[in-house]
Structure 1
Amino acid sequence: MSPLIEELRSTPLLWLLVLVPIVLVAQFLYPEAHTLLFVLSVLAIVPLAALLSLATESVAIRTGDMIGGLLNATLGNLTELVIALTALRAGQYVLVKASIVGAILTNTLFMLGASFLLGGLVHHIQDYNRNTARLQSGLLFLATIAILIPSVLADADNSVTNATFTNTLSVALALLLVVAYGLGLLFSLKTHREFFASAQHGSESELKWPPSLALTTLAVVTVLVALVSEVFVESVQQAAVALGITPAFVGVIIVALVGAAAEMVSAFSAARKDKLDLSVSIALGSAVQIALFVAPVLVLLSYLIGPSPMDLQFWRGAVAMMLIASLTASFVTNAGRSAWFIGALLLLVYVIFGMTLYLLPPRT
């Protein structure tokens, strides 16, 4: 346990971990103090994200950037899954779909763009394996098509898109997306893994955590992030009303940024250390996992824990933003090289979406 204790002593940011029990106790004693719980939960997630980043980096040293990025994306997406399951049980399908859209936009535009920007400010030009980016972008585009079909049909001709048809089509698409995700893992990690080796590994990490300590820390911190995130979800809607923030902005921007905090810390740290392969794997891998695994699983689970079946029919604006995000990610990662200006462009696209959602008037 000495490496972890030493890290806690030497990193002032990790001292904020004391807020984790505080927010859980405050949620029990003052469940109606939504704005207070909102602020405390956000501040508590930050040190948990930093600790998760350190543990993931230690594991990635031994597994490689591709598997390390997949591991980080999987553990990071557990937060989004818990958030979505909480809303799913309550029948808040609009919030579920908004969190899915937000996760995809945040990972492909904000996380990837900020990684390029931060890495480019330290290193003039950075290289990464474009085969990994091409695979992830292709899978993400496939998921966008699967979501686009029921959404377009619903707007085109209401006479043939009844609820039974939409639900049946959504279940079939969900199963296909899960199969596609499994095939993508088989292709990249097994049959053709030689194509997805890191272009460069940057400087050697100074972390010397034993594997057992790193994995235990990952498991414990992930559970704590899930608990704090649940408090965040229960308070964010009322806090948003008190702060004058639109529901669309809350679902697509705020919930997604908080849910992806752990992954962002890891991605940004890796980019500054010239390990851009790990950053790209985390950002695009997380978006692909949300689109091809988490979203389909939520559709299937809605038949078990939801008050009614959930479909893959999204509103037109959401589909347009996901399509633009997937095409933008595919375009900027095609060369396998990056500089700070490319990251700035991705962030500007994200700001355009965020500004639009913030100014969007509430639906009457």
Structure 2
Amino acid sequence: MAPLLREIRDNAVLWLLIVVPAVFLAQAFQPEAHTLLFVLSVLAIVPLATLLSHATESVAARTGDAVGGLLNATLGNLTELIIALAALRAGQYTLVKASIAGAIVTNTLFMLGASFLIGGLKYHVQDFNRVSARLQTSLLFLAVIAMLAPSIVADADSATSTAFVNKLSVGLSVLLIGTYALGLVFSLKTHREFFGAIAPEEEAGEVALPLGLALATLAGVTVLVALVSEVFVESVQHAAIAFGMTAAFVGFIVVALVGGAAEMASAFSGASRNRLDLSVGIALGSASQIALFVAPMLVLISYVIGPAPMDLLFWPGAVVMVLISTFTAFLTTSGGRSAWFVGVLLLMVYVIFSMTLYLLPPATQ
């Protein structure tokens, strides 16, 4: 416990952990103060994400960047899953689908681009395992095809029934989950020799947390992030009106950024320490996990906790943005090398999408 307390004492950002209980107190005594709850929840997620990043790096140093990236992506996506489950119970399927598509776009463009930029500003050129990146982007392409299939059928035949779309979505969900599981077997077992990290030019530094303490910190902080994220989701729609944000911008950009804060902290830290394999593994691994596991699981779970079944029928704009993001990530990672300007290009695509959604008139959302 002493190393964890020392880390909190020495890191000024972690002093914001005091905001975490303030979030729950404000929710208990002022549940209608949505703008206050929104601000407090965002401030609380920042130190939690930083602490989660530090614990993940401690585990990744012992397991390797491939497993470390998968571990961080899984724990980080747990937040998105809990946010989506809360919306699923309330029947807010538009918000669920927006957060899914937004998380994929945010991870492949913003998280990956910012990692390339941060690492590139410190190191002239950085190398990473392009085989691993190619596998993740290939899985994303498969998910885009699954998102396109219901839309193509619905547009081609206006008489297509809701029951047919629901059955197709269930079948696609089973296929995606199965493919994701086979991908894990391929990368972590049968062909794991192809997915080793590229050796960094300098060491990442001494591991601060023992493995047991790091794992306990990961579990505890993930639960806190999930609880704070629920407060965030409950208040974000009301706060969006106060800040002049459109519903499309909130679901696609704001929820995705806040929900992925923990993963971003780890990805950015890895890039700054010349461990770009960890950063790429988190960004693309998280995106493919959302597309091939989280989204299909939500479709299946909706039959249990939702007021009605959810399908994989996304609106065309979301599918196009996910497709462009996947193609952009494939192009920028196919060479296995990166510099700061590559990150700028990815971020510019993300800014274009963000600007479009922010300025989108309410009548066309």
Same-fold status (TM-score > 0.5): yes
- The Cα shift of 1:142 comes to 0.3
Q: Distance in 2 between matches of 1:29 and 1:115?
A: 39
Q: What one-letter code is carried by the residue in structure 2 that aligns with 1:303?
A: Y
Root-mean-square deviation over aligned CA pairs: 0.8
1:251-303 deviation line (CA, Å, top 9, x unaligned) = 00000000000000000010011000000000000000000000000000000
Cα shift at 1:176: 0.2
Q: Distance in 1 between matches of 2:117 and 2:153?
A: 39
Give per-residue Cα distances to partners, 1:66-111, cap 9 Å, x unaligned: 0000000000001100110000000000000000011000000000
Distance in 1 separating the partners of 2:47 and 2:209 = 18
Identity of aligned residues (%): 70
8 Å Cα contact 2:204/2:274 also seen in 1: no
Measure, in 1, the Cα distance between the counterparts of 2:49 and 2:304: 31
Secondary structure class of the residue paired with 2:363: coil
The corresponding residue for 1:115 is 115
Measured after TM superposition, the shift of residue 168 of structure 1 is 0.2
Q: Does 1:173 align with 2:172?
A: yes
- Give the distance between the partners of 1:243 and 1:104, measured in 2 at CA: 25
| 1:182-215 deviation digits (Å, cap 9, x = unpaired) | 0000000000000000112341322231111000
Q: In structure 1, what is the equivalent of residue 300 of structure 2?
A: 300
Q: Is the 8 A contact 1:200 1:277 kept in 2?
A: no
Partner Cα separation in structure 1 for residue 82 and residue 205 of structure 2: 31
Q: Is the 8 A contact 1:150 1:313 kept in 2?
A: yes
Contact 1:61 1:205 in 2 (8 A): no
Partner of 1:64: 64
Tell me if the contact between 2:204 and 2:275 (Cα under 8 Å) persists in the aligned partners: no
SS in 2 for 1:345: helix
SS at match of 1:107: helix
Residue segments in structure 2 that go unaligned for 5+ positions in a row: none
State the match for 2:315 in structure 1: 315
CA–CA distance in structure 2, aligned partners of residues 149 and 363 of structure 1: 27
Q: Report the AA paired with residue 324 of structure 1.
A: I
TM, length-normalised to structure 2? 0.98
Distance in 2 (alpha carbons) for counterparts of 1:246 and 1:38 = 16
Letter in 2 for 1:196: F
2:187 equivalent in structure 1: 188
Say yes or no: does 1:245 pair with 2:238.
Answer: no
Give the aligned residue type for 2:22: I
Q: Which string of whole-angstrom CA distances, capped at 9 and with x for unpartnered residues, describes residues 44-86 of structure 1?
A: 0000000000000000000000000000000000110011000
1:151 positional shift:
1.2
The answer as to whether partners of 1:113 and 1:344 remain within 8 angstroms in 2 is: yes
- 2: CA distance, partners of 1:353 / 1:251: 13
For structure 1, the 5+ residue unaligned runs are: none
Distance (whole Å) between structure 1 residues aligned to residue 242 and residue 10 of structure 2: 38
Q: Quote the offset at 1:153 in angstroms.
A: 1.6
Is residue 325 of structure 2 the alignment partner of residue 342 of structure 1? no
Q: Distance in 2 between matches of 1:363 and 1:179?
A: 39
TM value normalised by structure 1: 0.99
1:361 maps to which residue? 361
Deviations 1:296-343 (A, max 9, x none): 000000000000000000000000000001111111100000000000
2:96 matched to 1:96?
Answer: yes
Q: Which residue of 1 aligns with 2:55?
A: 55
Aligned positions of 1:202-351 closer than 5 A: 202-351=202-351
